[in-house]
Amino acid sequence: MSRICVPVCARAIDEMRDAVERAAEVADIIELRLDCLDDVDAAERVMDHARLFGRPLILTLRSAEQGGHSSIDYKSRRQFWSSLRPPATDCFVDLEYDLVQDLSSAVSMQLDADWKQVICSHHDFKVVPPELDRIYERMTATPAGIIKIAAQANDAIDCLPILRLLERARKENRELIAIAMGPAGIMTRVLGPSRGSFLTYGSLDDENATAPGQLTARELRDVYRIERIDSETEVMGIVGNPVSQSLSPLMHNAAFAAANLNAVYLPFQTQDVTEFLRRMVHPKTREIAWNLRGLSVTIPHKSTVMPLLDWIDETAKEIGAVNTIIVRDDQLHGYNTDGSGFIAPLLNRFGSVRYVRCAVIGAGGAARAACWALIKEGASVDLFARNVDRAATTANDSGVPCRELSEADFTGFDIVINATPLGMSGATRGMTPATAAQLQGVRLAYDLVYNPIETVFLREARAAGCDTLTGIEMLIAQAAEQFRLWTGKEPDLEVMRDAALSLI
């Protein structure tokens, strides 16, 4: 059973009441973060209001050291819990380990609650501690009915001890909430309930997250379809660093849902892709039992993964990068769908690009895939780069001339492609590799940046009278080919497109 707990955090009573009403629409359980309230004495009034919505409650008065929003000291928290009279049913109390020890052993000031309804919690906002099992054993020695351990994951492989702890708790018939916090720990929030976690946490919205890496409750339900995940669910995902801005989870999960597949697509943020593949992916060495079927690979790992694979498709070898991995029997097979994804929108537009003169701007993997695909289709290609030395390998391997972008004159070119990150949301948003004056006479400007859809480069191109093609087209085309490789089925392209556009 997948339970989603929505934490409610607000300073004023009325604000918390409003938040409770919103939470009741998407939550299985509502957590009242009493440490957020300016007036903690109003806790019982908030609790009485929350009970009107028929959802089980978790009452939490978190210490600042454990991630709380209040400076209330230990003595005051101890007094608060000793005097509180929570309902006998459908109400849990979340206490830090030191309070559990104190209130379960004190002669006076004992907790007036069923200990089966007590959550004994521990948080580490820096790392997943190496002594995780010892922490768990100390907590299970208390009378608390439920154990909660949340620790910061700084890499996807940090999720391994969290997932192993869930397996241990299931074997020992213990109720456990185990979560790896941060972007690198998202898999534990999505897969946790199917692996025995008592619940998972989902925020009301992005602005109301109460812990790092917390997804919204609607994302858990609508994007990841958490209620349908079980031990047979096929797992796919994107491995890179960072991956939090990727649209791939939206597109692939929507496509899985449309095809009625028991599959989920997750973000895997990792710095050390070698250890990630060894410890979590390769069937011969991985330390986790899961139905992992494939991966998308993004920056900066597309070349790094190649020596780690058992077999690589010729196209990926020629491009010099892998962006798709399939787990096949006991092997990892690598492919590249960037080239085919890049060229498909051009062929849809022109039918053929044979003898068409193309300028590719860039020096990295996207430029390399673009050059490869254009040459394969018989186009004439010139490479332009801000750093010619950095682009030299791509130019030499592709057999194309390379020139300084600062000296670019695109007169006589039919198509100009931006394969740089210039214009992407973030630090380079508002920048462009070419101006309207430089693009005069060009037939088509193709921007591989997809977020935002309307880049400065495309605006400059339209001002010069060019037709345009957005990066969303390549994104969908390469993702569709990945879907085919993993599932053997044809994806619904419009579903993928709608999902991608919903976030841009």
Residues 113, 143, 74, 34, CA torsion sign: negative
pLDDT tens for residues 98-114? 999 988 876 555 777 78
Alpha-carbon distance of 424 to 431, in angstroms, equals 8
Mean pLDDT (whole number) for 155-169: 98
pLDDT tens for residues 338-352? 999 999 999 999 999
**pTM, rounded to two decimals:** 0.93
Mean pLDDT (whole number) for 468-482: 96
The candidate with the shortest Cα–Cα distance to 383, out of 353, 412, 357, 352, is 357
CATH of domain 4-230: 3.20.20.70
Q: Where along the chain do its domains lie? A: 4-230, 236-336+477-501, 350-469
pLDDT tens for residues 211-266? 778 899 999 999 999 999 999 999 999 999 989 888 999 999 999 999 999 999 99
CB 85 within 8 Å of CB 59: no
The pLDDT of residue 208 is: 78
Fold matches, 4-230 and 236-336+477-501: no
**First vs last Cα of the chain: how many Å apart?**
33
Percent of the chain with pLDDT over 70: 99
pLDDT tens for residues 487-502? 999 999 999 999 999 9
Q: At what angle do helices 338-350 and 365-376 cross, to 10 degrees?
A: 50
- Strand 331-335 versus strand 324-328 pairing type: antiparallel
The candidate with the shortest Cα–Cα distance to 342, out of 253, 449, 225, is 449
Q: Which fold, 350-469? A: Rossmann fold (3.40.50)
The pLDDT of residue 158 is: 98
pLDDT tens for residues 304-340? 999 999 999 999 999 999 999 999 999 999 999 999 9
The pLDDT of residue 113 is: 74
Q: How confident is the model at residue 207 (pLDDT cuts 50, 70, 90)?
A: confident
Question: Where are any strands of DSSP class E within 9-129?
Answer: 29-33, 57-60, 91-96, 118-124
Quick check: is 116 catalytic? no
How high is the mean pLDDT of the chain? 93
Pick the CATH number of 236-336+477-501 from 3.30.70.260, 3.40.50.10860, 3.30.2320.50, 3.40.50.2000: 3.40.50.10860
Q: Which helix H or strand E contains 7, and what residues bound it?
A: strand 4-8
The pLDDT of residue 106 is: 65
pLDDT tens for residues 383-437? 999 988 889 988 998 999 999 998 888 999 999 999 999 998 888 889 999 999 9
The pLDDT of residue 67 is: 84
> Of these residues, 75, 116, 126, 302, which one is catalytic?
302
Phi, psi of 212 (to 5 degrees): -60, 135
Block residue for tokens 């669910």 = 233
Mean pLDDT (whole number) for 452-457: 94
pLDDT tens for residues 56-101? 999 999 988 888 888 788 888 888 888 887 777 789 999 999 999 9
The pLDDT of residue 107 is: 55
- Using DSSP's 3-state secondary structure scheme, residue 385 falls into strand
Residues 71, 76, 81, 86, CA torsion sign: negative
Q: In what order do the strands lie in the sheet with 234-240?
A: 263-269, 234-240, 292-297, 324-328, 331-335, 311-312
Compute and round to an integer the Cα radius of gyration of the chain. Answer: 26
Q: In what order do the strands lie in the sheet with 175-181?
A: 175-181, 146-152, 118-124, 91-96, 57-60, 29-33, 4-8, 200-201
Phi, psi of 442 (to 5 degrees): -75, 140
Is the pLDDT at 442 greater than 80? The verdict is yes
